A = this chain, B = another copy of it.
Amino acid sequence: MTEVSIEAVKEFFIDLQERIVGTFEELDGSATFLRESHESPNGGFAQPRVLTDGAVFEKAAVQFSYSVGDRLPPAATERLPSLTNKPFQATAISVIVHPRNPKVPTTHLNLRMFLVDAQEETWFFGGGFDLTPYIPFEDDIKFWHEQAREVCRNDDHYLELKQNCDQYFYLPHRGETRGVGGIFFDDFNNGEFIDCFKFVQAIGERFLNAYSTIVNRRAHLEWTSEEEEWMLLRRGRYAEFNLAIDRGTKYGMQSGRRIESVLASLPPRVNWRYRHELLVSEKLANLTSKLQPGIDWLGIVDNSVDKS
């Protein structure tokens, strides 16, 4: 398999989806995913898997899609504008988890591949994973970034993808990142297809392992109603990002895609309270000091070659 194969990527995504769903059902121990399939007339198909009202996961969406289109939307690529409006195939897996326990962080994974039928057939990958804690544990944040570092080639590669993540998941109106980040990349096709695909596979595997580890560490901890209220308020930030800022959600809403799939990422319960800082304790509000771009979680910035 040294040739470019979207079939192989589809197979991997479908298998990864099945394993994530299985692992999450085991972790939850109570609820199961609703399993659906939707086919498009042109050969595309989607497999949403959504869990609602679990013991550990209040909502988890693990979605696979394969689509075939006549015109690559401009939103699909920034670096390769010459490809827009060409026929294409795309396949993606996306995961969003809203846990019940505010000590378990929310997480998000997205992996996608595009194959574009241009003068020369062109492919590229995109995706990444990020973490959004409510009650932050520094151990978990460092562990998460260690995992991110390990899937990358070296420190500089990690720092570049981490910076992408901090920049993309940023709420300017709040002056905050959405969470404590991770990695994020777009228009990725450096080198051989097989090496890029291996990188994407490694991200998927690492994600499942890393997030499961954190859930196992924290899901059994008690929480207070004040902490839960804090989580519901912080979920408001998540909804603000997804509805007002996220390019993928915007594109999904405007393009007439199945709206339940597009908005499956929204938190199950959200509170918006006017001037909530009047009500939550400083200890919890200290989370926001961790929600800034460029925090050197692994203490490696000084070791890296590129300090620009």
Q: What is A's interface to B at a CB cutoff of 8 Å?
A: 34, 50, 52, 59, 61, 172-174, 232, 236, 239-240, 243-244, 249-250, 253-254, 256, 259-260, 262-264, 266-275
Contact = CB atoms under 8 A, between A and B. Distances in A.
Given A239-B243, A243-B244, A244-B253, A272 B262 contact: no
A172 B61 CA distance: 23
Contacts of A271: 268-270
Nearest to A52: B274
Contact of A244 (B174, B244, B275): B244
A274 B260 contact: yes
A71 B237 CA distance: 30
A273 B174 contact: no
Secondary structure of the A side of the interface?
Answer: mixed
A206 to B, nearest CB: 27
A274 B59 contact: yes
B52 A253 contact: no
Contacts of A236: 266
A274 B243 contact: no
Nearest to A252: B173
Given A243-B243, A269-B270, 11 more contacts: A59-B274, A61-B274, A172-B254, A174-B259, A239-B239, A239-B272, A240-B263, A243-B244, A266-B272, A268-B273, A269-B271
Contacts of A256: 173
B240 A275 contact: no
A271 B53 CA distance: 12
Q: Which of A59, A244, A250 has most chain B Cβ within 10 Å?
A: A244
A50 B270 CA distance: 19
B52 A273 contact: yes
A269 B174 CA distance: 20
Contacts of A268: 271-273
Nearest to A239: B239
A94 to B, nearest CB: 14
B173 A259 contact: yes
Given A239-B243, A273-B268, A262 B173 contact: yes
A270 B272 contact: yes
A241 to B, nearest CB: 9
Contacts of A52: 273-274
Contact of A250 (B61, B244, B259, B273): B244
A-B interface, 5 closest residue pairs, ranked by CB to CB distance from nearest:
A243-B243, A266-B272, A173-B253, A50-B274, A243-B244
